[in-house]
Amino acid sequence: MEQPRRITDSFPRRLRRRGPGRPPGRLKDKKDKKDRDKDQDKVQVKVRDCARSPSQPAPDPALLEMLRRFDLCWEYGPCTGITRLQRWERAQELGLSPPGPIRDALLEHRDNPDVTYRWVGMGW
């Protein structure tokens, strides 16, 4: 009886050759110290230019819970790649009747990114 073909049978096998003195599993570092320092400076600048400022007060936990429930309600469509207000307005245009207090809260806290955007870091 013939064995079933596997998808890997279609591709030629190649042996990996390691260079002299190269440990397995590690790639050769092509950047010198000067280039790595430049990359590190860029990362630090990006962190400093972050939109969230520490001067903004944290939003009310009850407000965040209400927004979380709105995020989890699939009745109003997907929430990936758009702001909460854009999602609310899209649901309104489609006649899905999203809750009015959500829109009021989003307009009131328009400058706060914790309210404007769905925060995926919290496991929501």
The domain locations on the chain are 58-123
Could you tell me how far CA 50 lies from the centroid of its own chain? 15
Q: Choose between 73 and 2: higher pLDDT.
A: 73
- Give the torsion sign (CA, 43, 48, 49, 54): positive
pLDDT tens-digit profile of 21-33? 656 665 555 555 5
Report the mean per-residue pLDDT for the chain: 76
pLDDT tens-digit profile of 55-73? 677 888 999 999 999 999 9
